[in-house]
Amino acid sequence: MRRFVIGSARNLIESSRQKYQFERSILSSSYRFLSSSPAADSPSSSSSSSTMAHLVSLSTINPKVIECEYAVRGEIVTLAQKLQEEIQTKPDAHPFEEILYCNIGNPQSLGQQPITFFREVLALCDHPAILDKSETQGLFSADSIERAWQILDQIPGRATGAYSHSQGIKGLRDTIAAGIEVRDGFPADPNDIFLTDGASPAVHMMMQLLIRSEKDGILCPIPQYPLYSASIALHGGTLVPYYLDEATGWGLEVSELKKQLETSRSKGITVRALVVINPGNPTGQVLAEENQKAIVEFCKQEGLVLLADEVYQENVYVPEKKFHSFKKVSWSMGYGEKDIALVSFQSVSKGYYGECGKRGGYMEVTGFGVDVREQIYKVASVNLCSNISGQILASLVMSPPKVGDESYESYSAERDGILSSLARRAKTLEDAFNKLEGVTCNKAEGAMYLFPRIDLPEKAIKAAEAAKKAPDAYYCQRLLAATGIVLVPGSGFGQVPGTWHFRCTILPQEEKIPAIVTRLTDFHKSFMDEFRG
């Protein structure tokens, strides 16, 4: 095990043994692939069995792969898929009619409808042969037809089936850069944009670029979206945790960053970058502009790359908070290319669009020298390009219909309907969690998640121990078995040792929320009744 995790606000680590325990504690996951009960939907095959001798075994594969964990698609989800299959074949197999996937930010899987205009344009670009046909006028809005022509004209030979430039189609990057300029009020350069298959591959690319060995550290929030811990593990680096302060609404304190940076440096770790997720995942907080300025200043002073996960930039639900990109904040401080290295990640999977399956996204890379950016381009070129539909969609979300366009009214009604409903759902769930015995839940300011804290009775912790589960994982499994609701235990994201949480998305359709609240409340009451001291 080459990777180790260092640093803690709680002075927990002294020896490397303790370090290991610490890592297990803050980042242990419910995703256990070697568990004794592989569930039905896991990739098992009738033609092979684990008793057979195979050439490639766990003891001969890359240990970084084994170490990597990804909780939001972990054991609980595998179990949920198994229950779903059981319900399909036998509808009364369980005390619920359907599985409610609150584990992952996947809005359309729970019934959210795509934005019509976006899908019109995608369909027309997929099959341009119909653009000239008269029937098409009756099926598609005029501005979707016009936009499809515009986009096709930006693609050499109008070939939507060709590999594009490895950073993405130039005309689409122009559109995205223009969208960033409108958002921020500062110039954006299309040559800084790298289009990717969702934001995840962009995060991997930056980790691959920055991590040379386990002596390179990446400052990550705890709790964090486990893509970061997974990617750092796969690339052989060290996750340097900093804690978000639950007591101040998941506040990000620069004093905490400094402390963790110093601790890790004293251990011989070179900290390369700071990951900030804003709006937060799994925590749902939205950073204040003053806080962001202090973070920028910290990165500049300490020479850290700022990796800004801004995929929830459209998901802000409270009037007192507003999304500010880190680029806008640092440019407004008078900083530019030579002052701070900044990568902003954006995705078509989130916002009001929620087009997860399209795998579109981009990163805007500023403050890197031409020579380093050419290395990023080279790595991008090894995979040729991201998918063209995802590229087109990324340009659409950064340049949606405008006032006066035929689709504008329907588009804005769809967008506002989704966002206001998400805000109501967030508030309802937040209130419901706060009414549960032993549960406290911070305000859902943004993103798609709540991350309530649960004080579990001692007897429940003992029962979890007996079941060889982390206590929060035990709670989530019991909840799933009783209600069909799928949450992710806090241990998959990291949490202050000794505290327990779970992540719950705000994505089930609004009409289902009351029933979910009732089921959650009833389950929780009976769980607490069972284990209360």
* Residue placing its CB nearer to its own copies in the complex, 285 or 366: 366
Among the listed ranges 19-27, 151-159, 217-225, 457-465, the one in contact with its own copies (CB under 8 A) is 151-159
In the complex, least distance from residue 125 CB atom to its own copies, rounded to whole angstroms: 9
In the complex, least distance from residue 72 CB atom to its own copies, rounded to whole angstroms: 8
Our finding on whether 413 is near its own copies (CB under 8 A) is: no
Among the listed ranges 17-25, 229-237, 436-444, 463-471, the one in contact with its own copies (CB under 8 A) is 229-237
Judging by beta carbons within 10 Å of its beta carbon (0-12, 13-18, 19+), is residue 153 exposed, middle or buried?
A: exposed
Please tell me what DSSP assigns to residue 349: S
- Which residues are CB-contacts of 40 (< 8 A; sequence separation ≥ 6)? 81, 82, 85
Q: What is the 3-state secondary structure (H, E, C) of 426-458?
A: HHHHHHHHHHCCCEECCCCCECCEECCEECCCH
Our finding on whether 58 is near its own copies (CB under 8 A) is: yes
* Residue placing its CB nearer to its own copies in the complex, 228 or 523: 228
Can you tell me the distance from the alpha carbon of 28 to that of 269, in angstroms, rounded to the nearest whole number?
A: 22
In the complex, least distance from residue 455 CB atom to its own copies, rounded to whole angstroms: 31
Question: Do 186 and 205 form a contact (C-beta atoms < 8 A)?
Answer: no
* Residue placing its CB nearer to its own copies in the complex, 244 or 385: 385
Q: Report strand pairing: 216-222 vs 485-486.
A: unpaired
Can you tell me the distance from the alpha carbon of 487 to that of 517, in angstroms, rounded to the nearest whole number?
A: 13
Our finding on whether 31 is near its own copies (CB under 8 A) is: yes
Please tell me what DSSP assigns to residue 275: E
The single residue among 82, 267, 373, 427 that binds its own copies, judged by CB under 8 A, is 373
Can you tell me the distance from the alpha carbon of 122 to that of 124, in angstroms, rounded to the nearest whole number?
A: 5
In the complex, least distance from residue 48 CB atom to its own copies, rounded to whole angstroms: 5
The single residue among 25, 28, 141, 160 that binds its own copies, judged by CB under 8 A, is 160
DSSP run (H or E) holding 164: none
The single residue among 15, 36, 55, 511 that binds its own copies, judged by CB under 8 A, is 55
| Residue 345 backbone dihedrals phi, psi, to 5 degrees | -100, 135
The single residue among 358, 425, 469, 478 that binds its own copies, judged by CB under 8 A, is 358
Our finding on whether 341 is near its own copies (CB under 8 A) is: yes
Q: Which of residues 162-201 bind its own copies (CB under 8 A)?
A: 162-167, 187, 189, 191-192, 197-198, 200-201
Q: For residue 296, how many other CB atoms are within 10 A of its CB?
A: 24
Q: Which of residues 384-403 bind its own copies (CB under 8 A)?
A: 384-390
Tokens of 82: 């198994």
Our finding on whether 39 is near its own copies (CB under 8 A) is: no
Strand runs labelled E in 79-172:
100-101
| Residue 342 backbone dihedrals phi, psi, to 5 degrees | -135, 130
In the complex, least distance from residue 394 CB atom to its own copies, rounded to whole angstroms: 12
Can you tell me the distance from the alpha carbon of 533 to that of 528, in angstroms, rounded to the nearest whole number?
A: 9
* Residue placing its CB nearer to its own copies in the complex, 33 or 467: 33
Our finding on whether 354 is near its own copies (CB under 8 A) is: yes
Our finding on whether 70 is near its own copies (CB under 8 A) is: yes
The single residue among 10, 215, 322, 378 that binds its own copies, judged by CB under 8 A, is 378
In the complex, least distance from residue 29 CB atom to its own copies, rounded to whole angstroms: 10
Among the listed ranges 14-22, 379-387, 398-406, 444-452, the one in contact with its own copies (CB under 8 A) is 379-387
Report CA dihedral (521, 523, 526, 531) to the nearest 10 degrees.
Answer: -110
Tokens of 58: 């766990």
Can you tell me the distance from the alpha carbon of 270 to that of 237, in angstroms, rounded to the nearest whole number?
A: 10
Q: For residue 440, how many other CB atoms are within 10 A of its CB?
A: 14
* Residue placing its CB nearer to its own copies in the complex, 64 or 424: 64
Our finding on whether 38 is near its own copies (CB under 8 A) is: yes
* Residue placing its CB nearer to its own copies in the complex, 32 or 321: 32
In the complex, least distance from residue 41 CB atom to its own copies, rounded to whole angstroms: 7
* Residue placing its CB nearer to its own copies in the complex, 135 or 320: 135
Our finding on whether 331 is near its own copies (CB under 8 A) is: no
In the complex, least distance from residue 300 CB atom to its own copies, rounded to whole angstroms: 9
End-to-end CA distance of the chain: 39
Q: How many CA atoms lie within 13 A of 346 on its CB side?
A: 28
Can you tell me the distance from the alpha carbon of 211 to that of 273, in angstroms, rounded to the nearest whole number?
A: 10
Q: Per-residue string for binding with its own copies, 102-141, x by CB under 8 A? A: --x-xxxxxx--x-x--xx-xxx-xx-xx--x-xx-xxx-
In the complex, least distance from residue 67 CB atom to its own copies, rounded to whole angstroms: 10
Residue 457 bridge partners (DSSP): none
Q: Report strand pairing: 342-347 vs 305-309.
A: parallel
- Give alpha helix (H) positions in 306-369: 326-332
Our finding on whether 156 is near its own copies (CB under 8 A) is: yes
The single residue among 10, 54, 459, 532 that binds its own copies, judged by CB under 8 A, is 54
Can you tell me the distance from the alpha carbon of 219 to that of 36, in angstroms, rounded to the nearest whole number?
A: 34
Our finding on whether 382 is near its own copies (CB under 8 A) is: yes
Our finding on whether 489 is near its own copies (CB under 8 A) is: no
In the complex, least distance from residue 466 CB atom to its own copies, rounded to whole angstroms: 25
Q: For residue 364, how many other CB atoms are within 10 A of its CB?
A: 24
Q: Which of residues 268-307 bind its own copies (CB under 8 A)?
A: 303, 305
In the complex, least distance from residue 211 CB atom to its own copies, rounded to whole angstroms: 6
